[in-house]
Amino acid sequence: MGYTVLIPQDIVGEGKKYLTDRGYTIKMGSGISARQIAEDVKDCDAILARTCPYPTEVIEAGNKLKVIGRHGVGCDNIDIKTATKRGIRITYAPESNANSVAEYTIGMIIAMARHFIGSDRATRSGDWEYRNRVRGFDLANKTLGLVGAGRVGSMVAKKAFFGLDMKIVAYDPYIKEIKGVPEVKIVSDPETVFQESDFVSLHVPLTPETRGMFGKKYFELMKPEAFLINAARGEIVNETDLYEALKSKRIAAAALDVYDPEPPKGDNPLFTLDNVILTPHNAALTLEAMTRMALHAAQGIDDVLSGRVPKWPFNKLTAK
């Protein structure tokens, strides 16, 4: 076939095997900076892209570049405009990690409701009376609010409703109902979600409209005993405002898997708080999801280079 696929960040073996079994040559990258990727891509027909940046200089350096297969869902690290202008197809893997992120979200809801982190620290330090000072609560009949009810948000709704007997309220301008869960209350604005919920979970993409969207205005609407979960994109939350809300106990706690920037700086003030659970953007990094992401990205590359319409196109190319 004669096509070469650049992989700047390593992926699981199943994805690489899918490509080599179909005759592709794999070129492992020499680094993950834009400069290094721009140098590596010059003789490549495709990139299997994970989380490092793919700005204009990378896209323009790919003289033979025909497709970028995104290993995951968010494509905000790729210069989509330049790629589209140059006729480069972007594919992604929207069905690969939704269940994994949804399970993470449910896990964080339970962890915060039952004070797992504090209980662990107290037990290790010999503070047995923690059990009498700090009480968790049942989740049945509590309200989970979702901002964004696409693949991930809808799965969270199903797991919370059927598995935990929670009430669900959701805002998503693109949906009228969540299939399979007609009991979900769909509202017309995100403010209602923040006002009514015991837990608010964010599941929106990073766009110019959502960048920095969730800050003081929304946190002041929340119940003081409410919790926030963000496993979407760090840039959608104003971290300074969130820090102030958590420090002042305006809201009870938060669970964060994403940050602005990433990786977070060591002096991030959120690190000083004991009412926030922090994880290193690994909500989607289960063994199963990593395999699906690698395979789906490889399949997208193969679709394009084989002349087929990709199953999961991200950008729309203008016919020439």
* Amino acid letter, residue 226: A
Backbone angles phi and psi of 190, in degrees to 5: -70, -25
**How far apart are alpha carbons 4 and 62 in whole angstroms?**
12
Give the pairing of strands 143-147 and 25-28: unpaired
Amino acid letter, 98: A
| Structure tokens, 320 | 């020439």
Q: Is 225 helix (H, G, I), strand (E, B) or coil?
A: coil
Identity at 76, one-letter amino acid code: D
Count the Cβ atoms, other than its own, within 10 Å of residue 53: 16
Q: Which residues are catalytic?
A: 233, 262, 281
Burial bucket for residue 242 (CB in 10 Å: 0-12, 13-18, 19+)? buried
Distance, in Å, from the CA atom of 258 to the CA atom of 282, rounded to the nearest integer, reads: 9
